[in-house]
Every structure is written in C-alpha cells, then in structure tokens.
Amino acid sequence: MFLRDEMFLRNAWYVAGWDAEVAGDTLLPRRLLGDDLVFFRGDDGAIVALEDRCCHRHAPLSKGQREGNRVRCMYHGLVFDASGRCVEVPGQERVPERLCVRSYPVVERDRLIWVWMGLPENAAAAAIPDAHWHDCANWSAERGGYIHYDSNVQLIADNLLDFSHLGFVHNKSIGTRKQGSVRPEVTFDDESVTVRFTTPDSPPPPFARELGALAERVDRFNFYVWHVRGNYFVQDSVIAPVGEGYESADPSTIKLHTFIALTPRDAQSTHYFWSTAHNDFRSTAPDLTRRLTAQVAHAFHEDREIIEAQQRSIAAAPGAPMAAIAADGTLLRVRRMLDAMLSREAQASHAPPAAEGALA
C-alpha cells in the first residue's frame, strides 16, 4: 500500500459544497483536486464555478466582486462571465479571446453542489449519485456536515471500506467488538463495491442505547455502496429487535441513511461532506436529530484522529512497507479498481486525435 502522487480521477462528479454556502454576494474559494476554484450564484440563481485565478496577473477572483451573473477581479477590474470569458477590460475597447479563465460544469442537486473536474464534454448530470435522504419528507437530518482532513483521500477511503476498525476506533460510540470479527458479504461492480454486513443478536451500540428504545439484544444491518468514481459512500443502517429483519416496521427500529462524499483538496488534504438522515424512530430524546448528528460527528472525529495520525506516520517514513491482513481484502481490491480507472483515464487523455478521413 502506498500513496500515489497523481491519484485523482478527473472525469467524475465531486461534491464541492452545500448549496447554502453560496448565497448573496459570496465568492466562495475552494481548492479541489489541486485546482483553485471560486463559486458564486448569479442573479439568475445558477451557481457558477470558475478558476480562482485571474488570467491577467493571477489575483484570486474570490477577492473580487460579483456583478449579476459575472465576477469582477478587483485588482485591475477585468470582468468574467459564467463561461469564463473576459467581457470587459477597463480602459480597453477590444477584449481578445485569449483573456479567459477555466469554467467548470456545476450542478446543484439534493442540496449539494456537484462539480465536474474533467473534460467538460464528458460531464453528464445523469451520472450524479443519489443523495436525496437528507432532503426528503420521510427522513430527518441536519444538513451542512463537513470535516476538513489533513490526510490523503485514500486513507479515508480505506477506512470506509474496512469494518474491522469499528470495534476498536469506535468501541465507545457506534461500534462493538463483535463487529470486528464479522465477515461482510462484498460484491464488486465495474466502478463500485457493495458491502453487506450483518451482526445478529448482539447488544445495541452505545449511541442506540442512549437515543433509542431498543431491547438488550438487536440485529444490525449495515449495507453500503462505495462509488470509486467521485469517492461517494452511501450507507443504509438498520438496528432492529432480534428476528424483525432488515425491513422491520417495529417503531423502535433505528434506520439511518448516511452519505459521505470525499473530495480531494490536494494530495495532503481532503474535504469530507456528510449527512445522516434517520427515520424518526421511537426515542425519548427531545432533540433527536441534533443529538444523533452529534453522535455520528463524534464517531467521524474518532476516525479523523487515527487517520491523520496515520498520515503523519506515513509521511515520517515514506515507502516503509505495510503488512496486509485478511480484513484488507476489499480495500486492496478497490485500490486496484481505482488504478485501472486512472490508467484508462490517462490513456484516453493521451490518445491521439483520430486522423481526418480515418475509418471509424
């Protein structure tokens, strides 16, 4: 296992932020996959994503000002439209075409801002993964979840694909020791992996005991899908009375939908956007959504602490070997999938253009 230098798929939809972050005259700077972008909402309501570097003398456009559907660089006053074209140079009549900044395809969906970091002609909004649960009538959730990670994205992805850490990193929050020894069912598709993890007849985890009204023994179902393209994780968790099953209609049954979107900031840091929606299960907690969100956030910070420490340890001894164990099988296979996808993307971007008149 190692950390690559160029490890990001560019032809992917990544979460760039929550919709509420871009409002009014805000010019939101955000570094994604090593690129500096600025996001703003035009008067027409549409979000615009541009390179955050003026083509004149490289002042950040995020230090400028929004004017309608455009942004003005507040160093020497160049104005750029939503396509990145410069449309005004103060004191100069003609605006040459070469005055432009890169613009990125952007879509607002399910309260999230999705940005396409690859070739614009490959951006198809239909490929954006489903994230509706935190914006849905039958579920309650707090939106806006965000963690900054001082770690390469791969270490966080590894952690999400590995349930063997639950009984150790999270033994005081969401995990139990028994989970550390249960083998999940794993199925692989071309660009995703589905993990089904069932823990029958075991004590409920600490957070469920605190917030729920379950008996002393429960069945747990944790099913999740990891989308390799775009680093998107969606988990469906059920904690039900023993024997009720995954579809349990018992009002004490806790059902949770969690999404985590990992967007690389650069090789050393990562944006972690998340939300956990619940099914309004029977609870004595008056402010259930806030408390549940705080519990999940606490568990995520437990992960962050160990992963950032791991990142520092790796950086201190680059290239030192790691010894694999059986529980690493899924994450190693996912890394191989990612390597293959990266190679295909690199080959496609270096492919020579088809010769004129060549047979298709």
Which residues of this protein are in contact with Fe ion, per CB under 5 A?
303
Is the Cβ of residue 64 or residue 205 nearer to ligand FES in the bound state? 64
The binder of 158, among Fe ion, ligand FES, none, by C-beta within 5 to 8 A per type, is: none
CB 339 within 8 A of CB 347: no
166 binds ligand FES (CB under 6 A): no
Is the Cβ of residue 68 or residue 77 nearer to ligand FES in the bound state? 77
The binder of 18, among ligand FES, Fe ion, none, by C-beta within 5 to 8 A per type, is: none
141 binds ligand FES (CB under 6 A): no
Q: Would you state the torsion angle of the CA atoms of residues 333, 338, 344, 350, taken in this order, to the nearest 10 degrees?
A: -140
* Rounded Cα gap, residues 5 and 41, in angstroms: 33
Number of Cβ within 10 Å of residue 151's Cβ equals 24
The binder of 303, among Fe ion, ligand FES, none, by C-beta within 5 to 8 A per type, is: Fe ion
Is the Cβ of residue 71 or residue 334 nearer to Fe ion in the bound state? 334
The binder of 148, among Fe ion, ligand FES, none, by C-beta within 5 to 8 A per type, is: none
Segment lying near ligand FES (by CB under 6 A), choices 74-82, 123-131, 232-240, 302-310? 74-82
Binding mask 28-67 for ligand FES (x = CB under 6 A): --------------------------x-xx-x--------
The binder of 56, among Fe ion, ligand FES, none, by C-beta within 5 to 8 A per type, is: ligand FES
Site size toward ligand FES, by CB under 6 A = 9
Spatial strand order in the sheet of 79-80: 65-67, 70-72, 79-80, 86-88
Smallest gap from residue 214 Cβ to ligand FES (A): 59
Distances (CA, A) of 56 to 63, 78, 90: 14, 8, 12
100 binds ligand FES (CB under 6 A): no
Is the Cβ of residue 219 or residue 303 nearer to Fe ion in the bound state? 303
The binder of 10, among ligand FES, Fe ion, none, by C-beta within 5 to 8 A per type, is: none
Is the Cβ of residue 3 or residue 55 nearer to ligand FES in the bound state? 55
Classified as helix, coil or strand, 145 is strand
The binder of 76, among ligand FES, Fe ion, none, by C-beta within 5 to 8 A per type, is: ligand FES
Closest of 179, 215, 185, 214 to residue 200, by C-alpha: 179
Q: Which residues pair with 262 in a beta bridge?
A: 272
Smallest gap from residue 51 Cβ to ligand FES (A): 12
Distances (CA, A) of 342 to 118, 153, 202, 238, 350: 12, 15, 41, 35, 12
> Beta strand pairing status for 254-266 and 269-278?
antiparallel
CB 276 within 8 A of CB 295: no
Binding site for ligand FES (CB under 6 A): 54, 56-57, 59, 73, 75-78
